[in-house]
Amino acid sequence: MTTPYLQQCERLVMQPLHILLPLVLAFGILDGTQAIQKSEDVVIETEEMRLILSSDGTAESLIHKPTNEECLVPNVKVPAFSIVLDINYSPYDDVYKTNLLPVGDREFTADSVFLKDNTLIVRFDIVDIDILINVGIHPQYVHFAIEDIVYNENKSRKQPYRQFTRPRVDEVWFLRLPIRQRVHFGNILNVMWDDRLAVNLLGADPYVRIDSDTGEGYRLLKAGAIGEVKLQGVGACLITTGTNRLLDSIARVEEDFALPQGVINRRRAQSKLSTYWSSEVTPGNIDRHIQYARQAGFRTFYVYCSAFARTRGHYEWRPEYPDGIEDLRDVVKKITAAGLTPGFHILYNNAGIDDRYVTPVPDNRLHLRRHFTLAAPLAKDDTMICIEENPAGVTLKEGCRVLKIGQELISYSDYSSSVPYRFTGCNRGEFNTERTNHPTGYRFGLLDVFVVDENVRPRFVTYNQDTDIQEEVAERLGQIYQEAGFRFVYFDGSEMTHAPSWFNCARAQWEVYKRLIPEPVFAGGSAMSHYSWHMLTRGNHYDSHSWLPEVMKESIRKFPAAQAPLMANNFTASTFGRYKYFVPGEHTIGIQPDMIEYLTSRAAGWDSPWIMKARLKELEAHGRTSDNLEVIRRWEEAKAQNWLTEKQKRMLRNLEQEHILLVNEQKEFELAPYEQIEEVAKGSEEVRAFLFERNRELYVVYWHISKEKKLVLPVNREKVTLLAGLGQEMEVESGEDGSSVIVPAGRRHYIKTDQLSRSELIAAFGDAAILE
């Protein structure tokens, strides 16, 4: 005879224990017209959507009411709710003691669901737990939030739960929806959309875990609460609307839940404009920087924190700023007076290796990656550290091999991953810390050090986000931002937050962001999580300053241009990188007008910004700076005027066809495809030339990469016209033989002809000679 106890065991064995996905408000599927609603189903309805949950906890249907379109994938039954329990945590029931289940985290799906007033009661009878989910109905969305986790007292077990025997709930997935695949999926915003409809599962606070899984013909959108972060009160909003109304609905959520104004900031004209960036701005040189920024048509200006701060963490002032915040305020005032919006580029979640958080007494709130126990006493002169734990997998990266033992920092050169475990080749008292003795049993850890380049010393140490150090630094940064008068911000080093990174990435940003008064008009960052979407209106910046000009175009195709459509899926512009201003020299031809033309045009095709990393000595040393800045000015002006049509933007997304933005005879912008003449002056790299056609005439725009020289073209004088710019004719000097012309080769000039064929014009530049 089968007893209730054995029936419970059988049900446990039959559960899909490993892969039951996080809790989704399960919707049933229709064939496209109307859900088959049963009397016991739960129906949740707004002006735009109707969600039907079956009584067994799966989703029957999600209808967009204005179009009557089903948004769930048909014929897929996915549990809408699940919980993850640690089976080995205080075993509480004889069922688990039968060894039917191995120890560890196990996922259980709901048995039933019903709605009482505004509360969804989700029952997990197999473990005698109920999840209470508050349902808030709003015109543009439905808000789901965990109210409580209830341990039932006496269903099938022999005795009720006692407080100390309750199983630990590690995860609660309170909404999981198998959304039918559409053209676009935004993996950061967690939205499935096409030109007509969008379904968005949006976090309503920083604590909710928003994620998705891939299914056949669908995406499983998920909202959950994680025990190590927060369980109760965590919520998410379900939006089902026309795509043209999605951002309005998100803006409503942002207002209702006091989130950062991600929608408002994305709609600002400034969000797509590129930025002049400098790490060397001082009260003494700000006027020259502003001159270059305005010449290039930039509207926004980043000041890197190292321009005024000697260290990152405490942000102690550099000697160039003897009056501290007063000097910085004067610099920012000048930027603003010049018509530029001033921005603050910060390192915020880590301290510089030379900061007081690290030396001479390392702060106890710095993050440690691994923890170890001394297996023997450590004298202050010992160079080997004996430990209890196996250090296998600990970093051997140059500059990152640093241990924190109490208030001493120690570097190591190697370690043993076999008994006896130990760190070897240790240097004591690193970074001016004090050597000390440490007893057996002392606990210590591997300092979380981040190195930008393996060939340099360590530069940054990550903060422990579980302490108050981030709040302390945030207060300092907020004060600098407000008192100096900055209006936008870039969160550098966002990728340096420790696990759980989905939470800590945005959490660290949010600690700073909420102290920035007034709220930034836009923001960027080097890493983005779901909640970051509300703060970071620009996609992740590529550190493109390491790309030599010779590989710049290929690198743009490979990285930022490939990222742009993915960020656009998240209704976010992708920043096309931060570029160093290379000067022609022994190892490079330097950055050239066509390279900037390619960068700015590809970015414009996606309404995206980019950043110029400016240093005065490089701008002043490059012979083509005026031409380079003129290219930037044209494209920034075109973006500011919204001059490009949607058709032109799509054309600029063709990565193989290059384009030039011209100023024509009527002083209006004109866009033309052009192609490089690969062999100029018998293969010389000194002159670059590009051919295009307009008004049934052929043109070549050409220039010398750095100097002022002359170019001999083997063509008849009557067959070509020399132009300083379109409509600006210049005299042409005849060659000695009468069958050639001598034209200037310095800044950009144009050759125009309607008498030479394309091949003849290309051949003329190929056979040209360069004169000093």
Tell me the average pLDDT across 566-577. Answer: 95
What is the C-alpha R_g of the chain? Answer: 32
Q: Are residues 170 and 152 in the same domain?
A: yes
What is the rounded CA–CA span in Å between residue 254 and residue 205? 10
Are the CB atoms for 685 and 589 separated by under 8 Å? yes
Are the CB atoms for 335 and 345 separated by under 8 Å? no
Q: Are residues 310 and 382 in the same domain?
A: no
Q: Which residue has the tokens 């056609």?
A: 693
Q: pLDDT by residue (tens digit) across 332-388?
A: 999 999 999 999 999 999 999 999 999 999 999 999 999 999 999 999 999 999 999
pLDDT at 154 over 70: no
Q: Are residues 56 and 133 in the same domain?
A: yes
How high is the mean pLDDT of the chain?
91
**Assigned domain for 648 exists:** yes
pLDDT at 31 over 80: no
Residue 101 pLDDT grade (very low, low, confident, very high; cuts 50, 70, 90): low
pLDDT of residue 21: 31
**Assigned domain for 386 exists:** yes
Q: pLDDT by residue (tens digit) across 87-99?
A: 764 444 544 443 4
High-pLDDT (> 90) share of the chain, %:
84
Q: Are residues 320 and 375 in the same domain?
A: no
Q: Are residues 521 and 614 in the same domain?
A: no
CATH number for the domain spanning 698: value is: 2.60.40
Q: Are residues 746 and 617 in the same domain?
A: no
Q: Are residues 382 and 437 in the same domain?
A: yes
CATH number for the domain spanning 323: value is: 3.20.20.70
Residue 701 bridge partners (DSSP): 690, 750
pLDDT at 110 over 80: yes
Instruction: Among 439, 462, 485, identify where a domain stops.
Output: 462
Q: Are residues 60 and 185 in the same domain?
A: yes
pLDDT at 23 over 50: no
Tell me the average pLDDT across 675-701. Answer: 97
What is the rounded CA–CA span in Å between residue 319 and residue 306? 12
**Assigned domain for 224 exists:** yes
Kindly report which listed range (5-19, 104-118, 234-248) carries the lowest average pLDDT score. Answer: 5-19
Are the CB atoms for 144 and 134 separated by under 8 Å? yes
Cα diameter, the chain: 114
Domain total of the chain: 5
pLDDT at 447 over 80: yes
pLDDT of residue 748: 98
What secondary structure, in 3-state letters, does 579-629 show? EECCCCCCCCCCCCHHHHHHHHHHHHHCCCCCEEECCHHHHHHCCCHHHHH
Instruction: Among 663, 687, 721, identify where a domain stops.
Output: 663
Q: pLDDT by residue (tens digit) across 711-747?
A: 999 999 999 999 999 999 999 998 877 789 999 999 9
Q: Are residues 565 and 592 in the same domain?
A: yes
Instruction: Among 663, 697, 712, identify where a domain stops.
Output: 663
Residue 16 pLDDT grade (very low, low, confident, very high; cuts 50, 70, 90): very low
Q: pLDDT by residue (tens digit) across 177-195?
A: 999 999 999 999 999 999 9
Q: Are residues 589 and 692 in the same domain?
A: no
**Assigned domain for 20 exists:** yes
Are the CB atoms for 127 and 85 separated by under 8 Å? yes
Tokens (6 digits) for 364: 């106890």
Tokens (6 digits) for 97: 């003691």
Q: Are residues 251 and 138 in the same domain?
A: yes
How far, CA to CA in Å, does 673 sit from each of 297, 627, 655, 715? Answer: 23, 19, 12, 24
Q: pLDDT by residue (tens digit) across 257-310?
A: 999 999 999 999 888 999 999 999 999 999 999 999 999 999 999 999 999 999
pLDDT of residue 542: 74
Q: pLDDT by residue (tens digit) across 307-334?
A: 999 999 999 999 999 999 999 999 999 9
Query: What is residue 474's three-state secondary structure?
Result: helix
pLDDT of residue 152: 81
What is the rounded CA–CA span in Å between residue 751 and residue 760? 13
pLDDT of residue 153: 61
**Assigned domain for 670 exists:** no
Structural domain including 506 reads: 272-349+464-534
**Assigned domain for 264 exists:** no
What is the rounded CA–CA span in Å between residue 674 and residue 70? 47
Order of strands across the sheet that contains 658-663: 658-663, 669-676, 687-694, 697-704, 749-753, 721-725, 728-730
pLDDT at 160 over 70: no
Are the CB atoms for 67 and 98 separated by under 8 Å? no
pLDDT at 157 over 50: no
DSSP track, 285-348? THHHHHHHHHHTT--EEEEEGGGTBSSSSS-PBPTT-TTTHHHHHHHHHHHHHTT-EEEEEEE-
pLDDT of residue 735: 83
pLDDT at 33 over 60: no
How far from each other are the two terminal CA atoms of the chain, in whole angstroms? 105
**Assigned domain for 358 exists:** no
pLDDT of residue 772: 82
High-pLDDT (> 70) share of the chain, %:
90
Q: Are residues 178 and 249 in the same domain?
A: yes
**Assigned domain for 578 exists:** yes
pLDDT of residue 455: 61
pLDDT of residue 103: 67
Which is more confident, 22 or 213?
213
pLDDT at 14 over 50: no
pLDDT of residue 102: 66
pLDDT at 412 over 80: yes
